[in-house]
Amino acid sequence: IYHISIPEKWTSNVAFGGKNNNVLFITASKSVYTFPTKVRGIR
């Protein structure tokens, strides 16, 4: 488990995506953030 700080008031959703399903997408109040990861999401 890992904590990712987002510089916004709130976040609304998270999902894995990208070509290899190893990019974490985080939607927030004003932006969408992407973080490459070492793990893959479930397909």
- pLDDT tens for each residue of 1-43: 788 999 999 999 999 999 999 999 999 999 999 999 999 988 7
Block residue for tokens 């999401």: 41
Can you name the residues that pair with 38 across neighbouring β-strands? none
In this prediction, residue 7 carries a pLDDT of 94
Amino acid 6: pLDDT = 93
Instruction: Please tell me the predicted confidence (pLDDT) of residue 1.
Output: 76
The DSSP line for 1-43 is ------SSS-EEEEEEESTTS-EEEEEESS-EEEEE-SS----
From the list 41, 15, 40, the residue with the least C-alpha distance to 27 is 15
Q: Please give the Cα distance from 18 to 6 (Å, whole number).
A: 20
CA atoms within 13 A on the CB side of 3: 2
